[in-house]
Amino acid sequence: METIAQILTALMVIVVSVSLIMTIRLTRWSKKTEITSMYMTRYGELMKDLDSVKSGGMDVHSFWYRFWLIQQEQYILWKQGVINEDLYQLWMDFRAKEWEENEVIRGICYRDSWEESCKRMMHEFYDFMKTVFSKQRPTKYIH
């Protein structure tokens, strides 16, 4: 009887441990999904404001600052492993394309907005984005 009790106890420990590990993984996946969704929503809201910025209804400097702040926040979360590697690479491909196109919004071009905003950004993020703009696909090497 004692041996059966020990086996059952060991099995219970294993079952509880596996359950705990699965719960932690599921919670992490859920949080990653939630954070990614939140940033996609914030970016979408920013793009909705673009028409108002273009028409003069919103401050263009504020728009660009918000744009680059979102980029830096996403970078930090990507470095922490919270944002999916492939999705982040896609986002950086868009940033490289935007850099190349250099759209002008109410007298401020994409590149100038970066130069102005980067004065308030982390140096590591600045260096990373320089690599993105040079189309070297840095996410494959840094993370």
pLDDT per residue over 101-110, tens digit each?
A: 999 999 999 9
Q: Does the pLDDT value for residue 36 go beyond 70? A: yes
Percent of the chain exceeding pLDDT 70 equals: 85
Q: What whole-number distance in Å separates Cα of residue 12 and Cα of residue 18?
A: 10
End-to-end CA distance of the chain: 53
What integer pLDDT is reported at residue 42 of this predicted model?
83
More confident residue, 16 or 75: 75
Please state the domain count of the chain: 1
The parent domain of residue 86 ranges over: 2-142
Q: Render pLDDT for 48-98 as a digit per residue (tens, 0 to 9).
A: 888 899 999 999 999 999 999 999 999 999 999 889 888 899 999 999 999
Q: What whole-number distance in Å separates Cα of residue 48 and Cα of residue 41?
A: 10
Q: Does the pLDDT value for residue 117 go beyond 50? A: yes
What integer pLDDT is reported at residue 6 of this predicted model?
80
Contact 139, 85 (CB under 8 A): yes
